[in-house]
Amino acid sequence: MRGLRDVPRAVWLLAAGNFVNMAVSVTFAYLFLYLTGPRGLDPGQAGLLAGAGGVGLLAGNLTGGWFGDRFGHRPALLASAVTGGLLLAAVPLLPTPALYAALPLAQYAAGAQRAASSALVAVIVPEGARRQAFAVTRAAANGGFTVGPLLGALVATRLSYDWLYVADGLGSVALACWTARVVPARRDPAHGGAAQGAPRGEARGGKARRGEARGGEALWPALRARPAVLVLLGAIVVVDVVYRQQYTTFPVYLADHGLDTGVYGSLLAVNGGVLLCLELPAALALRRRSPLPVVGAGLLLVAAGYGALLTGVGVVTAVAMMTLLTLGELLYKTTATAYVADRAPGHAMGRFQSLYAGASITGVVLAAPLGGALYGAAPDLLWPLCTAAAAAAGCAVLAGGRLEGGRVRGKAEAETAATAEEAAAALAGPRGAAAPSAPAAPAAPATPAGPAVPDVSPGPAAPTPPGVPTAPAVPGAGRRRAPLV
């Protein structure tokens, strides 16, 4: 667990806040029951409203990072958490027609909060420690989600669904207050302070980066300069649609083959248990590995999970499928999040995290309609296509890793050559430059005059007067040192 020492204290405190917040953020799990029960909507209306909320969540993830790059990641997180929390807490008081505006807006704020939270962790944590930092935050969130639905069921049955929304809203507001306490404003690089562990000069470059962000520098040139990131984002979109079939068509598939809801619930418990036990140790063990091969291997494991369903239907097959799927998840999700953060330019950290956050929940919107339509039309084709799509995504990421490796090697060679040229020029020095004279002692006789000799000339240097110690050569003498920050 030595790698956990590199995770700043602020990240641990944020993870603790996320655990509590996730334990009360369970309204999405009971949304359909709430709309068709106390609110009296029919399934079609409830589905429309739930779909609108999913679109709002996706939009918030995709655009939330812009607010962080423009105004600072900490203020963006605080504003989105408070806005979404107040909207959710007010749901019990709103008439049903108002929910068509309130719920999508609340989901948009939740998506923006998710993107801002990832960007805030990325700027707090130095490169090289982000995998374990994101693993810590994910482990806390998964832990909260494990206990949250059980608590939500107790509240819904003993009290009412309204209290779920009140608790969810107050939890978001409390998270905002907790974040404001544990992450002071001066720690947010978007407001001019350097992130903990940031290189010297990052604070000096704060004003320049703010100018870049506020100047509206285009995102596309930064992405085009990082083709492996574009490949990864496309692969994550594909895999998320495949991955989330476990929540949509997979339980229907089990029921159609005589496996009841209890089996499906046990499989979800397998997923949560494996993640809680292995995700953080895996991130620590693999933190020095090149990220894209790890991500590619995770996507191939997702493909293998759905491929297991091609061998037949049964409890053993279903457990094998869920185990492989979960192992793939713990390999690719944390590593991909950290990789995108490591590759992001400082002025676009929030927008890069937004792109990844949006790609990683695409399945929330697309998995059910695409998977449901295919399962209804040709059920025997669903799992082969899922397997092929995830395998293709994994191979694309592995190929992107080789592409990036070639670009990095070429850049390193160019930088090495440039450094060698600069060193040679520094050694040669300007022609005719005079060598610095040795300090004269008060009682020493005057040194005979002679022509100035360049530093690197093979000819004899000026003689040193008797009694005067020879001054040692100082590398880089005459260069101005950069001020420490």
Type of residue at 15: A
Cα distances (angstroms) measured from residue 106 to each of 55, 85, 162, 179, 186:
11, 7, 16, 19, 28
- Give the pLDDT mean for 64-75: 86
Residue 432 DSSP class: T
Q: Are 91 and 99 in contact (CB under 8 A)?
A: yes
Mean of pLDDT over the chain: 77
pLDDT band at 303 (very low <50, low <70, confident <90, very high): very high
Considering only CA atoms, which of 330, 278, 328, 332 is closest in space to residue 302?
328
Cα–Cα distance for residue pair 153/201, rounded to 1 Å: 51
Cα–Cα distance for residue pair 141/275, rounded to 1 Å: 11
Query: For 371-380, what is each residue's pLDDT tens digit?
Result: 888 988 888 9
Lowest mean pLDDT segment, chosen from 24-33, 84-93, 407-416: 407-416
Above 60 in pLDDT, residue 424? no
pLDDT band at 230 (very low <50, low <70, confident <90, very high): very high
- Write down the pLDDT at residue 221: 85
Cα distances (angstroms) measured from residue 338 to each of 99, 107, 124, 341, 357:
36, 24, 12, 5, 12
Q: Are 447 and 465 in contact (CB under 8 A)?
A: yes
CB atoms near residue 75 (< 10 Å): 18
Cα distances (angstroms) measured from residue 177 to each of 14, 17, 281, 369:
11, 10, 30, 38
Element (H, E) at 19: helix 9-24
Type of residue at 132: Q
- Write down the pLDDT at residue 273: 79
- Write the CB contacts of 135 (distance below 8 Å, at least 6 apart in sequence): 279, 280, 282, 283, 284, 334
Considering only CA atoms, which of 45, 278, 74, 325 is closest in space to residue 183?
74
CB atoms near residue 441 (< 10 Å): 12
Q: Tell me which range, 74-78, 148-152, 384-388, 423-427, is most confidently predicted by mean pLDDT.
A: 384-388
- Give the pLDDT mean for 28-48: 78
Cα–Cα distance for residue pair 349/75, rounded to 1 Å: 15
- Write down the pLDDT at residue 198: 38
- Write down the pLDDT at residue 438: 46
Lowest mean pLDDT segment, chosen from 114-118, 234-238, 460-464: 460-464
- Give the pLDDT mean for 291-302: 95
Residue with tokens 């610095």: 436
Rg of the chain over CA atoms, in angstroms? 29
pLDDT band at 200 (very low <50, low <70, confident <90, very high): very low
Structure tokens at 355: 């792109």
DSSP-derived secondary structure for 202-231: TTTTHHHHHHHHHTT--HHHHHHT-HHHHH
Query: For 344-376, what is each residue's pLDDT tens digit?
Result: 887 888 889 889 988 998 888 888 888 888 988
- Write down the pLDDT at residue 187: 46
- Write down the pLDDT at residue 2: 59
Cα–Cα distance for residue pair 33/198, rounded to 1 Å: 47
Residue with tokens 């809203």: 169
Considering only CA atoms, which of 424, 438, 426 is closest in space to residue 473?
438
Cα–Cα distance for residue pair 391/307, rounded to 1 Å: 10
Above 60 in pLDDT, residue 478? no
| Side-chain-side CA neighbours of residue 464 (13 Å) | 10
Above 50 in pLDDT, residue 472? no
Cα distances (angstroms) measured from residue 231 to each of 26, 47, 296, 395, 404:
33, 33, 11, 10, 11
- Write down the pLDDT at residue 307: 94
- Give the pLDDT mean for 190-194: 43
Q: Are 173 and 164 in contact (CB under 8 A)?
A: no
Considering only CA atoms, which of 275, 318, 268, 327 is closest in space to residue 150?
268
Above 70 in pLDDT, residue 426? no
Residue with tokens 């300069």: 225
- Write the CB contacts of 469 (distance below 8 Å, at least 6 apart in sequence): none
Type of residue at 256: D
- Exposure string of 409-420, with b = 16+ CB inside 10 Å and e = fewer, is eeeeeeeeeeee
Above 60 in pLDDT, residue 219? yes
- Write down the pLDDT at residue 329: 92
Q: Burial-class residue 448 by CB neighbours within 10 Å (0-12, 13-18, 19+).
A: exposed
- Write down the pLDDT at residue 381: 93
- Give the pLDDT mean for 217-246: 90
CB atoms near residue 47 (< 10 Å): 15
Dihedrals phi, psi of 335, to nearest 5 degrees: -65, -40
Cα–Cα distance for residue pair 286/302, rounded to 1 Å: 18
Considering only CA atoms, which of 259, 280, 289 is closest in space to residue 134?
280
SS3 content of the chain, % helix, strand, coil (to 5): 75, 0, 25
Cα–Cα distance for residue pair 171/144, rounded to 1 Å: 12
Query: For 40-63, what is each residue's pLDDT tens digit?
Result: 887 777 777 888 888 889 888 888
Query: For 164-189, what is each residue's pLDDT tens digit?
Result: 899 889 999 999 999 888 887 754 44
- Give the pLDDT mean for 446-461: 45
